[in-house]
Amino acid sequence: MIVSVKGAELFYTKRGSGPACLVPCSIGTKPYERQTPAQLSDRLELVYVDLRGSGRSTGDPADLTFDVLAEDLEAIRVDLGVERIAVLGHSILGALAAEYGRRCPASVSHVIIAGTPPRGDMAQLSARSASFFEQDASEERKQILRDNLARLPPGASPGEAMLAQTPLRFFDPRFDAAPLFAEADLKPRFFAHLLGTLAPAWDITADPGSLRVPLLIAHGRHDYTVPHALWDGVVPTLPDATLHLFERSGHQPFFEEPERFAEVVTGWMSRQR
């Protein structure tokens, strides 16, 4: 489906039934559709949205600000014909989900972020992640990562490098993640803007009182790209935030513990009405 907004046409798909929940996408909708569990779409209508300048959506990614994002997602909500909507953001896209909730509390019912850092400074995140991995990971996990990185060919693509980092991203350090990212549509200009412009200055604790929408922070115990320890001391500073740690998950708890993830999300949403 296509929604026309100022400067772009936004593509979205949907599946499931129940209260509507937006899922912002950055590499096309297919990988997100594949990774989010059927158990969740049995209880929610999941609406996968290619952000402007990514996937099948048009527009210049350089135009994307948090205010423009909120306007874009509001256009999708209006097109769906729903008064209020939840939003589920994964990894750094959780920052966008939170900012949509901050700007549109009258129309956003719940914000769920999974594997999201509390701050978007990528250099700081990388340093903290490396330190946590060194202190926390098993020797087997560390060795698998070293072996994977040693096998990378010269000039490896970003996709190849990401797959080599499976021990950082999944509970099972030997998991074959390649099928999950089939049909990924990566737009370098979009990611350069997201990680180089939007993310660096983002801090969820900036003006915390303005984030009034209920917030669920879902995190994998074995996420070594965005360690759960980054949230230590942060959650109590937010007006209405809940942290849930998934013990047998890495960076994608919705994929690795699908039934539990669906139970936690929908149970939390029902208590926040």
Distance separating alpha carbons of residues 266 and 40, to the nearest angstrom: 8
Residue 272 pLDDT class (50, 70, 90 cuts): confident
Has residue 273 got a pLDDT over 80? no
Instruction: Give pLDDT, residue 75.
Output: 98
- pTM of the prediction? 0.96
Instruction: Give pLDDT, residue 4.
Output: 94
Instruction: Give pLDDT, residue 207.
Output: 87
Instruction: Give pLDDT, residue 209.
Output: 83
Its domain, for residue 71, covers 2-122+183-271
Q: What percent of the chain has pLDDT over 90?
A: 94
Has residue 263 got a pLDDT over 90? yes
Same domain, residue pair 174 and 196: no
Which pair of tokens denotes residue 72? 């874009």
Residue 55 pLDDT class (50, 70, 90 cuts): very high
Residue 159 pLDDT class (50, 70, 90 cuts): confident
219, β-bridge pairs: 245
Average pLDDT of span 41-57:
97
Lowest mean pLDDT among 52-61, 78-87, 180-189: 180-189
Instruction: Give pLDDT, residue 158.
Output: 86
Provide the CATH number for the domain around residue 187. Answer: 3.40.50.1820
Distance separating alpha carbons of residues 43 and 40, to the nearest angstrom: 5
Has residue 8 got a pLDDT over 90? yes
Write b or e for each residue in 93-126: b if 16 or more Cβ atoms lie within 10 A of its Cβ, otherwise e: bbbbbbbbbbbbeebbbbbbbbbbbbbbeeeebe
105-139 residue pLDDT tens: 999 999 999 999 999 999 999 999 999 999 999 99
Q: Which of 179, 198, 216 is the last residue of a domain?
A: 179
Lowest mean pLDDT among 112-121, 137-146, 152-161, 246-255: 152-161
Same domain, residue pair 163 and 205: no
Same domain, residue pair 100 and 117: yes
Summary mean pLDDT of the chain: 96
Average pLDDT of span 174-179:
96
Give the contacts of 224 (CB within 8 A, at least 6 positions apart). Answer: 129, 132, 133, 136, 137, 167, 168, 169, 250
Same domain, residue pair 99 and 201: yes
Beta strand 215-220 with 45-50 is: unpaired
How many structural domains comprise the chain? Answer: 2
Q: Which of 179, 196, 216 is the last residue of a domain?
A: 179
Same domain, residue pair 213 and 131: no
Same domain, residue pair 31 and 64: yes
Same domain, residue pair 55 and 136: no
Instruction: Give pLDDT, residue 155.
Output: 87
Q: Which of 157, 179, 201 is the last residue of a domain?
A: 179
Whether 111 and 87 have beta carbons less than 8 Å apart is answered as: yes
Alpha carbon 73 to chain centroid, angstroms: 15
